[in-house]
Chains A and B, each alone.
Chain A
């Protein structure tokens, strides 16, 4: 009897919700507003989240992470340096003009033009030029054989040549026109961006008529917005916040493992960590399982190498050092490094708790760790400067948004790179070879060797595969993807 009453009550309560089958307006709380809406300028997560819904890209990734057609229908290598793309002919820009091969070539040439000063240039500068080679065909030329090309092109949005040339770069940034599922309705800089559905979109009708992205910098306030229904989905939840939201019946936590790797940088060129035994000891002193369970409530996943399984080049059988504090202590004693002073450079952009937890774990095996917190620009200047200034340790949360080892361990550890505080010619040879050979089997073999060398030399310690955590209304259907994309087209509302 009681059960029936409860069911009846539940039905009564649910009735108004059932009546409302479609939802017109979706509200998204982000930590900040888009910095630019021109997709060829900024690519911080907030900007990206907004403008990627206004544009189509040459290629994209399916939910499984496979590179699939979007504007391009097919592609083939004419030779090792030349890739030919066939394009769709039925895509219409939001101003009514057709998307043509000229627009695609223009978009590529625009972002690789040094005069345009795109912050994204270094992701595309292996491309020397793009040319129109047919009515629906574009050919890209690269400097060297470049296996990560397609992975980079996932991030290339196609802009209409005619509009950009007519209105100029500044006006285009203010009033962008794309071919994507949403068009810009209003942009109050720093406050919010409102998009409205492009009903003529070639992949179908977008799920919401309008989408509002609001800038709410404080996480606690974003959560309050979600609780009161002011926002339908909020980005950047911490695991603790996510756990606290779970009991709320009208809300849900949407999370997914990403290609972002949390790692500990260990300076192999300066300070006490120049001794490889000290570096190995550090790798053994960190109890990443406990860290992930306690601080990340198991949203993230422990990772012992500096790459996630979501990236190409990951080989599951090559691992890092297991947690072994006794051996770590012995190694440090052997190296005569007991009480050696390490500096742990950090900035407010990194998780303070993780820094402090690692500090204690290293102190427990006999090292002395001092945390030096500076602001982000200063942190970058030191971390990227010469080895003597970089400090012994720092955290990193690295994503190349290309899901390829080339975008991770090449910049991080290849000698001569500004992030790298490590030099091993053997390692350099492997990662150099892997970036200029197109055959996937050969590339994997190179990366396997590279990770075996990294295991011995420990210029960095894998900590965790990061998770993207969102809080959302219960009715929203969506699954976050490893590349941290935020496509409204992939969402649905199911009361």
Chain B
């Protein structure tokens, strides 16, 4: 219920922001069209109706499960979105694997070797991934691994090999969040009485971490993962542009710049629903990780 309210809020917000930015008629007519021709097309498209009427019509369509038709592509928005979602999911999964695969071990290492040089080096390394603008580091990756070494395809989306570079570029952005989160969670657990007691009984640090600490430290990490999913889905605008990855980020930026309203709305709707779904999954995951936590109805 609460999730539905915030999704509706998102849609309303985006609807009015988009409409305030002017209608797309001017972008659809050829250079040199007359004012009457433009007015005619605007009328045919329904953009001359009062804003609230347009909003009501949109919600009514949405309630029937109709996302409408793209103004530019003249195809159902649902078809367009559906063709992009698999790529987006693939990229988000790839990026998540990179971020978790590097971030969590790095975070554990940083906690275990707290205060040593190795912690600082690791901290700097994971931060480095977050401190470079993707549009620059991305093209450097393409030049190095694509053009010079020719190990990986330079663009596009055919086969797992072409997923590697975009995943690394996108994953690097969230990697340090996971590393820091894990570090704090592990430190937190390591300072608890039961761990201190176990260590006093002679349990090695490694055993303490693997047997007790990780399970409990996983909860905050899962929370962050769920929060980050929104950024991974459509925050990938720049990564998708650089690597010509046909996900919804690229779709969104094109739709915004051509004022293809319904496509933008649909992208936002998808991301918002995905975000809510991920947070629900995270709640379920808590219960799986720690049976003491019961899902509240």
Contact = CB atoms under 8 A, between A and B. Distances in A.
B37 interface: yes
A222 B156 CA distance: 10
A119 B29 CA distance: 5
Interface string B224-268: 000000000000000001111010001100100111000000000
Given A125-B37, A419-B32, A377 B26 contact: yes
A484 to B, nearest CB: 14
Given A190-B246, A381-B26, A418 B142 contact: no
A174 B75 contact: yes
Interface string A173-201: 11000000000000011111000000000
B254 A32 contact: yes
Contact of A418 (B34, B40, B153, B242): B34
A226 to B, nearest CB: 9
Interface in B149-170: 150, 153-157
B1 interface: no
Interface string B125-165: 00000000000000100110011001001111100000000
Interface string B114-132: 0000000000000000000
A92 interface: no
B83 interface: yes
Contacts of A216: 155-156, 244
27 contacts: A36-B73, A117-B41, A119-B30, A120-B30, A121-B29, A121-B33, A122-B33, A122-B34, A170-B74, A170-B75, A173-B75, A174-B75, A189-B83, A190-B246, A190-B254, A214-B156, A218-B241, A221-B155, A221-B243, A222-B155, A225-B156, A375-B257, A377-B26, A377-B257, A377-B258, A378-B21, A411-B31
* Residue in B26, B31, B41, B246 whose Cβ sees the most chain A Cβ within 10 Å: B31
Contact of A122 (B24, B30, B44, B246): B30
Contacts of A117: 41, 44-45
A112 to B, nearest CB: 12
A224 B142 contact: yes
Interface residues of A, number: 55
Contacts of A419: 31-32
B228 to A, nearest CB: 25
A15 B142 CA distance: 30
B29 A224 contact: no
* Residue in A29, A121, A122, A381 whose Cβ sees the most chain B Cβ within 10 Å: A122
Interface in B4-26: 21-22, 24, 26
Given A43-B30, A173-B74, A411-B32, A220 B155 contact: no
Nearest to A155: B30
Contacts of A220: 139, 142, 242
Nearest to A227: B147
Contacts of A123: 30, 32
A214 B244 contact: yes
A460 to B, nearest CB: 14
Interface in A215-252: 215-218, 220-222, 224-225, 227-228, 230
Given A191-B246, A221-B139, A376-B27, A230 B156 contact: yes
B26 A228 contact: no
Given A36-B73, A221-B244, A377 B34 contact: no
A31 to B, nearest CB: 10
Given A227-B147, A380-B27, A121 B156 contact: no
B32 A230 contact: no
A380 B26 contact: yes
Given A42-B72, A419-B31, 15 more contacts: A41-B74, A114-B44, A121-B29, A170-B76, A189-B79, A190-B246, A214-B155, A218-B244, A224-B146, A224-B147, A384-B26, A400-B32, A407-B32, A410-B32, A418-B35
Contacts of A381: 22, 26
Nearest to B251: A190
B215 to A, nearest CB: 42
Contacts of B33: 121-122
B212 interface: no
Nearest to A221: B155
B124 to A, nearest CB: 28
A35 B155 contact: no
Q: From DSSP, what is the main secondary structure of chain A's interface residues?
A: mixed
A417 interface: yes
Interface string A380-424: 110010000000000000111000000100110000011100000
A388 to B, nearest CB: 17
Interface of A: 29, 32, 35-36, 38, 41-43, 114-115, 117, 119-123, 125, 169-170, 173-174, 188-192, 214-218, 220-222, 224-225, 227-228, 230, 375-378, 380-381, 384, 398-400, 407, 410-411, 417-419
Contacts of A170: 74-76
A121 B74 CA distance: 16
B51 interface: no
A215 B246 contact: yes
B249 to A, nearest CB: 11
A398 B244 contact: no
Contacts of B157: 191
Given A36-B74, A228-B150, A400-B32, A122 B37 contact: yes
A29 to B, nearest CB: 8
A43 B31 CA distance: 11
B184 interface: no
Contact of B154 (A230, A378, A411): A230
A311 to B, nearest CB: 14
A376 B139 contact: no
A204 to B, nearest CB: 31
A132 to B, nearest CB: 27
B84 to A, nearest CB: 6
Nearest to A27: B156
B109 interface: no
A214 B155 CA distance: 10
Interface string B205-234: 000000000000000000000000000000
A215 B251 CA distance: 12
Contacts of B21: 377-378
Nearest to A402: B32
B59 interface: no
Contacts of A192: 156
A122 B29 contact: yes
A377 B22 contact: yes
A114 B40 contact: yes
Contacts of A384: 26
A125 B38 CA distance: 13
Contacts of B254: 32, 190
A417 B34 contact: yes
* Residue in B29, B35, B44, B243 whose Cβ sees the most chain A Cβ within 10 Å: B29
A230 B147 CA distance: 10
A122 B154 contact: no
B80 interface: yes
B284 interface: no
B179 to A, nearest CB: 29
B241 A217 contact: yes
Nearest to B24: A377
